[in-house]
Structure 1
Amino acid sequence: MFASLSDPTLWVALFQIIIINVLLSGDNAVIIALACRSLPPKEQRNAFLIGTVAIVILMTALTSVASILLTIPYVEMVGAVLLLWIGIKLLLPENEDENVSASENFWGAVKTIIIADIVMSLDNVLGMAGAAKGHMGLLFVGMVITIPLILFGSAMLMKLMERFPIIVTIGAGLLGYVAGEMAVEDPALKGHLANAHYLEIALPILGAAIVVIVGKMLAAKHAAASSSTTVPTEG
């Protein structure tokens, strides 16, 4: 524990937390940008803020139990499956049904941001927890400081996505890759990989491939179904 605000170790720990969070916020920025890319500009900003603030609060709480969670078999494998589904879903076209309100789209984006980031951050928070040395207030302050960096990165990615749609596919593939990495680290599977190190490389690549291939196939099927329903019938 740190003695006071004048304790230099406190400021060193805060600096470490900020650096760790900045280095690990790349995939956070990707998921925020992917989830919000179809919202109107005003709702994008609101989703950014609500989603990011919720992440900071939940990650602060999660840090206290992350070390325990990661020792439970199948927790990371369940998270990996969830990330695969989120990655595939992000490649699907937005629901254009008139009955789907803007509010539902907005809160759907916020929910995606929170779920994906919390799942992806399970093992990331351990590094920050180690730097905080059990000081939850310090961890919270460190993450709050990095919010503008995450938001700035997300905003830049969304602009790039508008110009280069391939980035959406790359971002979704990244989620699949992270899902594969999580599965490899699960205690239930890790023991079986001791003599099969190639799987530690193959599973993340497989995860990325599953997201991109399945996502593209479902998107094409959705597009074909949409076009067939809009073709006028001859009377």
Structure 2
Amino acid sequence: MFETLLSAVAAEAGGLGGPAEIWNSIVRDFSNIGEPGAFAAFVQVLLIDLVLAGDNAIVVGALAAGLPPEQRRKVILLGVLAALVLRVAFALLVTQLLQIVGLILAGGLLLLWVAWRMWRELHHGGESPGSAEIEGDEHSGLKPAKSFAAAAWAVAVADVSMSLDNVLAVAGAAREHPGILIVGLIFAVALMGIAANVIAKYIERYRWIGYGGLIVILWVAGKMIWDGYNDVAPALGWPAVAGA
């Protein structure tokens, strides 16, 4: 099943076929990891995955913080599982959609909103009751939901947004390196399923990690807006940006 899923992600990510093509793409990109473009894409993908996996965990934990322990654990489990499924689903679509003229520009603008939201949380986070299961959500500034249904709905909405943010940012950072893109998508899913709580704790303790991720997302957003503008400019009769 995992091999089939990996094949599907790779096919969408770079027009690749079966496992042999997937492996060849990964080997090709990582054998050239010393090249500036490939190395920069790899570092960007890792930092984006780390920061957004931790951010996802903090939001889910904060929203569930006001519930009784049993309901809180169910909401957090629901949030993690939903994030896993959504990341895979968006991975199957987003890189293909980025081939459509104008959507790279739209994706870059969306990532600017993601960066603003991250800045607000890092710089102006308030106090939250926090949940025993997620370390680091005490200063998220998010108000916990008052019922199981409200918490489940809030987590579902947050997961859709954050999963799209994650996959879009990774795809934008590694569009020219399908092997790195594939590994990044797998890494994102693994982090959400295994280590999101640990990452959330360290992001809260070492704030520079969050600010580093914010800078990377701003860089990716700017590059996508630059490339996206030059994709749509000819069709709209606008002047292309010099140097693109």
Asked if these proteins are the same fold (TM beyond 0.5), I'd say yes
**Would you say 1:127 and 2:177 are equivalent positions?**
yes
Kept after mapping to 1: 8 A contact 2:203/2:209: yes
1:52 to 1:145, Cα distance in 2 relative to 1, 3 A = same
Partner in structure 1 of residue 134 of structure 2: none
Q: 1:16 to 1:46 in 2, by over 3 A?
A: farther
1:104/1:48 Cα in 2 relative to 1: closer, same or farther (>3 Å)?
Answer: same
Distance in 2 of aligned mates of 1:160 and 1:96: 22
Aligned counterpart for 1:102 among listed residues 141, 144, 151? 151
Partner of 2:107: 79
Alpha-carbon separation, structure 1, partners of 2:212 and 2:114: 14
Name the % identity: 14
Q: Report SS of the residue matched to 1:37.
A: helix
Give TM-score, length-normalised by structure 2.
0.54
- Corresponding residue number in structure 2 for 1:225: none
- Larger Rg: 1 or 2? 1
Q: State the Cα distance separating 1:173 from its structure 2 match.
A: 3.7
Shift, 1:162, TM fit: 2.6
Structure 1: state its 5+ residue gaps: 132-138, 198-235
Provide the rounded CA distance (Å) in 1 between the counterparts of 2:193 and 2:112.
24
User: Residue 77 of structure 1 contacts residue 183 of structure 1 at CA under 8 Å; is this kept in 2?
Assistant: yes
2:116 alignment partner AA? I
Q: Aligned partners of 2:17 and 2:57: how far apart in 1?
A: 42
Give the aligned partner of residue 174 of structure 1.
216
Give how far 1:105 is off: 3.4
Check the 8 A contact 2:203/2:210 in 1, yes or no: yes
The equivalent residue for 1:60 is 92
User: 1:84: Cα distance to partner?
Assistant: 1.5
- Residues 46-87 of structure 1 show CA distances to partners (whole Å, capped at 9, x for unaligned) of 433322332223212344454x32xx1x42222222111122
How many residues get paired?
180
In the alignment, the residues of structure 2 paired with residue 64 and residue 112 of structure 1 have an alpha-carbon distance, to the nearest angstrom, of: 19
The more displaced of 25-34 and 95-104 is 95-104
Query: d(CA) in 2 for partners of 1:175 and 1:142?
Result: 15
RMSD: 4.3
1:150-170 deviation per Cα after TM superposition (whole angstroms, max 9, x unaligned): 655644421212323453344
Distance in 2 separating the partners of 1:2 and 1:172:
31
8 Å contact from structure 2 (residues 56, 162) kept in 1: yes
TM-score (norm 1): 0.55
The secondary structure found in structure 2 opposite 1:192 is coil
Kindly indicate whether the alpha-carbon contact (under 8 Å) linking 1:35 and 1:112 is maintained by their aligned counterparts in 2: no
